[in-house]
Amino acid sequence: MVFICGDTHGQIDIEKLTGELWPEGKGLTKEDYLIVVGDFGMIWYEPGTEHEIFLRRFYGDKPWTTLFIDGNHENFDRLFSDEFQEIDMFGDKVKRISDSIFYLQRGRVYKIDGKTFFTFGGGESIDKNTRTPYLSWWPQEIPTYTEMDLGISNLEEVNNEVDIIVTHTCPNDAFLHLARTYDLGYKTDAERSLRTFLSWVEKNVKFKEWHFGHFHCTLKFGKYYAHYDSKPIMI
């Protein structure tokens, strides 16, 4: 089985993964998967901190296997480095964080539990002006055109058809719907190129569901699912 949930932000928003709020998780096995839609935030400080040790133990002790895409609140210098081994998994390349945690990379197509997934992380930190570059904010949060080209190429390999799309932010029309519904007030110029690319994906790729996080709200509209504070759902 595959479940999906919103941003966890390191230790801040992991309560939704506890047995009290998600009792279904207790009955899963390592052959079941939980996908976090970005801002996983475990890879944040330098290696060996109490923060990371706690989270490695937290997820390692869970009965399921955790998968995540990147959001905007990640330490990309570490995540994109050779610190974590790139391995073949689900029919494409992932990065192994631990035996129980794997990073689903940008622009990849994976086959998980009989479904095809297109994953594309990244997003803009609207609070970046209050953060320190390469210490609490990393410019690699915005994907490059090379990563977008990789995504296009991999989608072409599956005839532009997948079951599930998992991103951190969302296409322009979905963003405008959320902005009207929640009065988000986002003016994300840096993110515009990314949302434009995702809008291209939306128009050119056949899909059944699109799941994303980033906006700290929970809403289903049409084929789109915005995730944040609700417990994981099965997909």
Place of tokens 């609140």: 73
Question: What tokens were used for 84?
Answer: 């974590």
pLDDT in single tens digits along all 235 residues of the chain? 999 999 999 999 999 999 889 999 999 999 999 999 999 999 999 999 999 999 999 999 999 999 999 999 999 999 999 999 999 999 999 999 999 999 999 999 999 999 999 999 999 998 899 999 999 999 999 999 999 999 999 999 999 999 999 999 999 999 989 888 877 665 556 788 899 999 999 999 999 999 999 999 999 999 999 999 999 999 9
What span, in angstroms and rounded, lies between the C-alpha atoms of 172 and 156?
22
What span, in angstroms and rounded, lies between the C-alpha atoms of 93 and 226?
26
Place of tokens 């110029």: 189
What span, in angstroms and rounded, lies between the C-alpha atoms of 127 and 141?
13
Q: Which domain covers residue 27, as residue numbers?
A: 2-234
pLDDT at 192: 87
pLDDT at 162: 98
- The total of structural domains in the chain comes to 1
What span, in angstroms and rounded, lies between the C-alpha atoms of 223 and 41?
27
CATH of residue 16's domain is 3.60.21
**pTM, whole model, 2 decimals?**
0.96
Question: What tokens were used for 147?
Answer: 């990563």
What span, in angstroms and rounded, lies between the C-alpha atoms of 65 and 60?
8
Contact 140, 80 (CB under 8 A): yes
pLDDT at 21: 93
What values do phi and psi take at 52, rounded to 5?
A: -75, -40
pLDDT at 224: 98
Instruction: Tally helices (H) and strands (E) across the chain.
Output: 5, 13
